[in-house]
A and B are shown apart, each in its own frame.
Chain A
Amino acid sequence: MKNRVRELRGQKGWSQADLADKLNVSRQTVNAIETERYDPSLPLAFALAKLFKCRLEEIFEP
């Protein structure tokens, strides 16, 4: 699934480690989501949407 996590993180000026800390996941997981090797679960996807203050479909597209 395509996503805009890297772009949105860049806009906030956060590193992967910063985002991982905010989501309480590992940097490995943030990297896997950004490189589209892993599609997050719904709870994690919603946590991302809440953090970036946008809707799910603005971050992920099928």
Chain B
Amino acid sequence: MTYVKTAPKRYFLEVIAALALMFAIVWLRQLVLRRAADPALVLLAKLLPLLPVLIIAVAVWRLYRSRDEFQQQVMLKSAAAGSFLALLIFLSYAPLHALGLPPFSRQTGLFIMAASYVLCGTVFAFLNVRAMSGTRRALVSLAPLAFLLFLPAGYGILSLFLPLPRLTFPYGMILLSAGGVMAGFYMIFVRRIEL
């Protein structure tokens, strides 16, 4: 098996590991911040979530480097479209805010950016898989990515009707991590990542 083929599997394993680490760190961080008095330990707990973020950044870079020319182009187009979509949402929110809508929190901004990237990545991947294997296979293949995208949104809607904890930033990260881990396992063991 060539490097071009094995790279996605390695990428998903790295991202799963990073998301599992994120899950553990967010939980541990809250525990430490509630109990620890040592300023050095508090600082470490606050900085620790950067570690999985760094791992994900390296994983994305390694994936990009290992892709062939067409796949690199698709990755770049998808990232550009994600950035552009987030920018459009932010820009169009300014006049809506002037009309009386509540201001964005920093966390909402982060979620919108992440969701824009996942949405555009899913759309580009869907178009490619559909061109290769048809609409049905594309839908089945990309179900976990769509699930990951709609997990926080679905939780937000459910929390309006059910007595669920509010989707704070840590809860959102935990939810995204759990969704990411599940999606990664699906890609590796069920779909077996044939790209």
Contact = CB atoms under 8 A, between A and B. Distances in A.
Interface string A1-42: 000000000000000000011001111110111010110110
A1 to B, nearest CB: 14
Contacts of B71: 26, 28-29
Given A28-B132, A32-B128, A40 B69 contact: yes
Interface residues of B, number: 15
Given A40-B69, A44-B69, A26 B131 contact: no
B195 interface: yes
A38 B2 contact: no
B4 interface: yes
Given A31-B131, A32-B128, A25 B70 contact: yes
A24 B67 CA distance: 10
Nearest to A35: B131
A25 to B, nearest CB: 4
B12 to A, nearest CB: 15
Interface in B4-18: 4-5
Interface of B: 2-5, 67-71, 73, 128, 131-132, 194-195
Interface of A: 20-21, 24-29, 31-33, 35, 37-38, 40-41, 44
